[in-house]
Structure 1
Amino acid sequence: MQNKRWISLFVENEVGVLARISGLFSGKSYNLNSLTAGTTEDATISRMTISLTSDDQTFEQIKKQLNRSIEVIKVIDFSETDIHMKELMFVKICNCTGEDMMEINCIIDALNLELIDSNTHTALLECVQTENKNNDLIDLLVKNFGGRVEIIRGGSVAIEVIK
């Protein structure tokens, strides 16, 4: 059975590491849903958050291959872990009427979004929510504004819950 999986990697912060890690996935024909990477408090180490969909056997294979990679310091499987996770998403809504702008402002207030730029006909929203909440927002906006919606999503980042 295919399930959504999350992995966090600590890797050496060197040129080409991201390409080699993503190449490992493409070389084995594993599909990534998202991949984010950034430096940590230690400038020599980066942290990647990877989302993918796979069965149990394939997922175990992926983790073993990542652990064998020289640049990988640590692999954390978030499948059975309580985590905090957020995804950055920008939404541009074009060709807006005055009535559309009032509706957008209601959505912003109701869903705790941020209007980061606008003019009389276009609104640019910033959403920092879970992937599922962002999916729900997209459904709502496409339903209300149709093909005038442009979506730009970053991958999710995640960290373990403090216990």
Structure 2
Amino acid sequence: MKNVKNVISVLVNDQSGVLSRISGLFSRRGFNIDSITVGPAEEVGLSRMTIVVRGDEPTVEQVMKQLHKLIDVIKVINITHEPNVTRELALIKVMVTANTRPEVLNLIEPFRASVVDVSRNSLIVQVVGDESKITAMLELLRPYGIKEVARTGVVSLLRGTTTKDS
């Protein structure tokens, strides 16, 4: 049994306590959530959660069945093996000097990252992409001195014009 990363999309009613009940379900099953993001969905009154969790297929299926049973859960889809678009945003505060500032600016260009704040001794770089792109950017900036990092967590949607019913 493989312990693989699964991306689960959950459509829920926008009600207080829903996030707590869902994260509690994962906790009771002994799952560590790698990433969880929540935001308004396409319909007023609904929110979309994107949850990244590691586990084998039978265990993740069981958790998904339990998610379906929760009040306020409308739809649950494991989109791991479906064509999808997955992104994450990271803000990285990196130390710079007059000499290293041009190096850092040249370094971030191929990543299509942007500078969103400038001070005398630091830059805040914004990068959007999949996990490997964010990790690569962090590794390249590390030698300059990373002071802070904030990451949004994964958001993901199925590709194409239709949604997958579960």
Residue matched to 1:93: 94
Runs of 4+ in 1 over 3 A off after TM superposition: none
- Distance in 2, Cα, partners of 1:28 & 1:80: 23
Residue matched to 1:103: 103
Deviation at 1:43, TM superposition (A): 2.0
Q: 2:111, 2:127 within 8 Å by CA — same for their partners in 1?
A: no
- Give the TM-score normalised by the residue count of structure 2: 0.91
Residue matched to 2:22: 21
**Structure with the higher fraction of residues in helix conformation:** 1
Deviation at 1:110, TM superposition (A): 2.0
Q: 1:141, 1:149 within 8 Å by CA — same for their partners in 2?
A: no
Which AA in structure 1 matches 2:100? D
Residue matched to 2:84: 83
Q: How big is the alpha-carbon RMSD for the aligned residues of Structure 1 and Structure 2? A: 1.2
Q: Which runs of 5+ in 2 are unaligned?
A: 162-166
Deviation at 1:58, TM superposition (A): 1.3
Residues 1:153 and 2:151 aligned together? yes
Alignment deviations for residues 89-110 of structure 1 (CA, whole Å, 9 cap, x no partner): 100013x211221111102222
Q: 1:10, 1:48 within 8 Å by CA — same for their partners in 2?
A: yes
- Distance in 2, Cα, partners of 1:56 & 1:9: 17
- Distance in 1, Cα, partners of 2:75 & 2:160: 19
- Give the TM-score normalised by the residue count of structure 1: 0.93
Q: Which runs of 5+ in 1 are unaligned?
A: none
Residue matched to 2:120: 120
Residues 1:34 and 2:35 aligned together? yes
Which AA in structure 2 matches 1:122? S
